[in-house]
Amino acid sequence: NGREAERESECQNILTGFKTSSVLNDSAREKVIFVHGKLADQEAVVIMEKTPVREDTLAELFSGSTLNLEMKNDIYSTYQLQAPPHLNKIKTTVVCPATEKHVKKYQRQELFLVEETGEDYQSITLPYIQQQSFSLQWVYNILEKKAEADRIVYEDPDTKDGFVLAPDFKWDQKQLDDLYLLAIVNRRDIKSLRDLTSEHVPLLQNVFQKGKEAILQRYKLPASKLRVYLHYQPSYYHLHVHFTKLGFEAPGCGVERAHLIGDVIQNLQSDPQYYKTRTLYFQLKENDGLLSKFKEAGKL
């Protein structure tokens, strides 16, 4: 029976053979853990994150769970609740085979604030990016519909100002509270904020406007509920724009990394070279190769 075989394969647990080497990071606040180990002799990183408690499952949670009293004091009491298993999943991401860079990316690190002048970008950051040549194949797979085609929320095929809008990996799309989408531009010649000039204002305006419209249409969420921004440094050097829900403290929405697209557009309109010439501030982890380059240059 094909159906059963399919079900079988869906439920097969490839993690049974996972051998943990170390916990790279975890957050008790966010209920997430990053584990490094081996999966059938290949290096792998496994990320497990508890899922949010969904409003539409409350009735079943209340009626179908078992409760164990921990503490009672006056009007306050605390319990351990054991939910029906299907209401209490863990979102699991596997990176396999994982490179040294992946392991470093997820490892908990000391943070340093870097001041990068326009010249520092040219002499330190740009050569470093070019030398790394991190693969962008997964981005091109999305743009070419070779992967995640069914996840695309909106697409503008224009080769100059077009983009693909899709949910970020981090969002399970089960609730709007942590809405997180990415607009990936079709153009492949813009690495980051640093490459933007007034020439790119129409591209940014197009992404901003059509991205907001697509989110309103699909999720009924108006622009006044959205935080729309670029990262600097980005985690990959192909221009993309983050759309997250206001009130959701998305990782990377802090002032030390995020740049509101509305500000970026205004800055480029009044100074075409704004992002070529400004000192930009960002944080780097202690084992980031770029941080070493800044240290070697005596900039930290």
Q: In this complex, which beta carbon is closest to a second copy, that of residue 30 or of residue 158?
A: 30
Residue appearing with tokens 């419209």: 213
Beta carbon nearer to a second copy, 160 or 254 = 254
Alpha carbon 157 to its chain's center: 23
CB neighbourhood size of 48 (10 A):
16
What span, in angstroms and rounded, lies between the C-alpha atoms of 111 and 126? 21
Counting every residue written for the chain, the total comes to 300
Distance CA 110, CA 132 (A): 22
The set of residues, in sequence order, having a beta carbon less than 8 Å from that of 85 and lying 6+ positions away, is none
Instruction: Please state the closest distance from residue 195 (CB atom) to a second copy, in A.
Output: 19
Closer by beta carbon to a second copy, 99 or else 160: 99
List Cα–Cα distances, 43 to 3, 20, 104, 124, in angstroms.
32, 10, 13, 30
Report the nearest approach of a second copy to the CB of residue 282 (Å): 10
Cα distance between residue 104 and residue 109, in whole Å = 9
Tell me, yes or no, if 231 is annotated catalytic. Answer: no
Residue with tokens 């996840």: 151
Q: Which is nearer to a second copy, 78 or 158 (CB)?
A: 78
| Closest CB to a second copy among residues 160, 279 | 279
Cα 43 to chain centroid, rounded: 22
Q: In whole angstroms, how close is the CB of 125 to a second copy at the nearest point?
A: 17
Tokens of 1: 């029976």
Which residue among 200, 231, 238, 240 is the active-site one?
Answer: 240
Supply the minimum distance, in Å, between the C-beta of residue 272 and a second copy: 13
Any idea which residues carry the catalytic annotation? 240
